[in-house]
Amino acid sequence: MSVRYQDHVDDLSPDHLRGGFWDGWSPNPPTPETHLALLRGSTHRVVAIDEATGHVVGFVTAVSDGVLCAYIPLLEVLPAYKGRGIGTELMRRLLAALDDHYMIDLLCDEDVQPFYARLGMQTTTGMAVRNYDRQAGADLPA
């Protein structure tokens, strides 16, 4: 299996994102159209593409103020592609792109902390708001 990585989605359509992302987001996951919109809207993103199919098999996003601070809201690798180093490579590329920032934050469950610790991240505490009725995203412009 050959996977390529890119930091843009200029050549992608929603059809490239129909692989079954949003594990655990039932019953109202973002649509592939919304997925593409958030990849475009993020200041930074890295996608992993299976060269055999052309489909996205993993992605990570970041939003940055362009000066000091960045937040990493989303990282996911499709189940069939997990355990092959794709999540690590997505994060490695994103952190490299953000390495001029002072603070780079994300929230995660405790069981994933070892994965991020191996990338040099440290445990901290945080607070959050979750509007679960907006989990599929705001309406896209027509």
Ligand X SMILES: CC(C)(COP(=O)(O)OP(=O)(O)OC[C@H]1O[C@@H](n2cnc3c(N)ncnc32)[C@H](O)[C@@H]1OP(=O)(O)O)[C@@H](O)C(=O)NCCC(=O)NCCS
Nearest distance in Å: CB 94, ligand X:
12
Return the residue of 54, 88, 117, 140 that touches ligand X, per CB under 6 A: 88
Cα-only R_g, the chain: 15
Alpha carbons 81 and 33: distance in angstroms, whole number: 22
**Side chain identity at residue 89, one-letter code:** E
Kindly state whether residue 95 participates in binding ligand X, applying the rule CB under 6 A.
Answer: no
Kindly state whether residue 139 participates in binding ligand X, applying the rule CB under 6 A.
Answer: no
Alpha carbons 79 and 67: distance in angstroms, whole number: 35
* C-alpha pair distances (Å), 23 with each of 5, 26, 35, 70, 71: 21, 8, 13, 24, 21
Return the residue of 35, 49, 57, 76 that touches ligand X, per CB under 6 A: 76
Kindly state whether residue 10 participates in binding ligand X, applying the rule CB under 6 A.
Answer: no
- What track of x and - describes contact with ligand X for positions 51 through 70 (by CB under 6 A)? --------------------
Binding site for ligand X (CB under 6 A): 23, 75-77, 82-88, 108, 111-112, 114-115
